Amino acid sequence: MTLIFAHRGAAGTYPENTMAAFLEAERAGADGIELDVQLTKDGEIVVIHDETVDRTTDGSGWVHGMTYRELRKLNAAAKWDGRYGHCPIPHLEEVLAWLGSTRLFVNIELKNSLIAYETLEQKTIALVRRHGLEKRTLLSSFNHNSMRFCRTVAPEIETALLYMEPLYDPWTYVRAMKADGVHPYHRTVTAAFVADAQRRGLAVRPFTINKTEVMKTMFAYGVDAIFTDHPRRAKEWKEKTP
Ligand code: G3P
Ligand code: CA
């Protein structure tokens, strides 16, 4: 059965990576949420996609150049014409504390490709463990070295490799990275690829799928999960797909 992960929360209809978007994901009946994490200047884990705050907030500058206190003053709903009022950038702690009261899975994407964020892995893993969410968490990153490191530090938490372009000899590579699955750009995914992965005990969760036609194709392939900005739409089409 294909699970539905609300990408950056229900980012199609709510400000991405905010509590409002995560709450909507739960209301929509998603199975899980996906979110992105970076570190502030004073080492706090914040939930934000870009390395800068410019695109999604009313502020400007690097996430790693601002303290948590400074970041909290910004409005992550600023680009939504006042529809959602003031939504602060969440701390990962806040999201995990709420998640504990739900049945949702969480995919924490470590945004550590452009900036190394030296302690991001250890801090994220410590928080997941503190909330007892090891079995409901998937760690992923485009930085595969980071995923290999997470596997060493936290063998009990699932890891997945994110990528845009098809991998050469993927199964040898994924095994070498000791990952549990792949999160590929959906255009690289075929029915044969999914079947092959699953035969090897590896999960396939393509991103980011918003078009109905692509949703239907992925459900038919039997992928393990999809990431979508529109969990309500995905749920509706999943129920209609035999
Ligand atoms: O994890 C899937 C997807 O979120 C990766 O791309 O840029 O939306 O973080 P991006
Ligand atoms: Ca992401």
Instruction: Give the residue carrying structure tokens 């452009």.
Output: 114
Question: Is 8 within a domain?
Answer: yes
Structure confidence at residue 231 (pLDDT): 98
- Which of 33, 37, 48, 49, when mutated, tests ligand 1's pocket best, judged by the most ligand atoms within 8 Å of its CB? 49
Cβ(154)–Cβ(182) under 8 Å?
Answer: no
Question: Is 198 within a domain?
Answer: yes
The dihedral through the CA atoms of 225, 170, 121, 74 has a sign that is negative
**pLDDT tens, 89-106?**
999 999 999 999 999 999
Question: Is 202 within a domain?
Answer: yes
Cβ(177)–Cβ(161) under 8 Å?
Answer: yes
Quick one: which atom of ligand 1 is closest to the CA of 109? 1
DSSP secondary structure string for all residues of 69-131: HHHHTS-TTGGGTTTT---PPPBHHHHHHHHTTS--EEEEEE--SSS--TTHHHHHHHHHHHT
Per-residue pLDDT for 77 more than 90? Answer: yes
How many Å from the N-terminal Cα to the C-terminal Cα in the chain? 11
What pTM was estimated for this model as a whole? 0.98
Structure confidence at residue 161 (pLDDT): 98
Question: Is 51 within a domain?
Answer: no
Distance (Å, rounded) from C-alpha 42 to C-alpha 144? 25
The DSSP call for residue 166 is P
Quick one: which atom of ligand 1 is closest to the CA of 207? 2
- Number of structural domains (the chain) is 1
The DSSP call for residue 62 is B
* Proportion of the chain above pLDDT 90, given as a percent: 98
Structure confidence at residue 141 (pLDDT): 98
The whole-number average pLDDT for the span 207-222 is: 97
By three-state DSSP, how is residue 139 classified? strand
Domain coverage including residue 23: 3-36+92-240
Output the ligand 1 site: residues, CB below 6 A: 7, 34, 36, 49, 109, 140, 162, 183, 207-208, 227
Structure confidence at residue 241 (pLDDT): 79
Assign residue 232 the CATH number of its domain.
3.20.20.190
**pLDDT tens, 190-211?**
999 999 999 999 999 999 999 9
Per-residue pLDDT for 11 more than 90? Answer: yes
Per-residue pLDDT for 242 more than 90? Answer: no
Q: How many residues does the chain have?
A: 242
Cβ contacts of residue 29 below 8 Å, gap of 6+? Answer: 4, 231, 232, 235
The protein residue whose alpha carbon is closest to atom 7 in ligand 1 is 49
Question: Is 53 within a domain?
Answer: no
pLDDT bracket for residue 47 (50, 70, 90): very high
Quick one: which atom of ligand 1 is closest to the CA of 36? 9
The whole-number average pLDDT for the span 22-33 is: 98
The whole-number average pLDDT for the span 47-60 is: 98
pLDDT bracket for residue 170 (50, 70, 90): very high
Structure confidence at residue 96 (pLDDT): 98
Question: Is 59 within a domain?
Answer: no
> Judging by DSSP bridges, how do beta strands 137-141 and 158-163 pair with one another?
parallel
Cβ(198)–Cβ(204) under 8 Å?
Answer: yes
The whole-number average pLDDT for the span 155-168 is: 97
Mean pLDDT for all residues in the chain? 97
Which residues are identified as catalytic? 7, 49
Cβ(3)–Cβ(224) under 8 Å?
Answer: yes
**pLDDT tens, 12-27?**
999 999 999 999 999 9
Buried-exposed string 14-49: b where 16+ CB fall within 10 A, e elsewhere: bbbbbbbbbbbbbebebbbbbbbbbbbeeebbbbbb
Distance (Å, rounded) from C-alpha 111 to C-alpha 99? 20
DSSP secondary structure string for all residues of 130-161: HTT-GGGEEEEES-HHHHHHHHHH-TTSEEEE
Helices and strands of the chain, counted as H and E runs: 9, 9
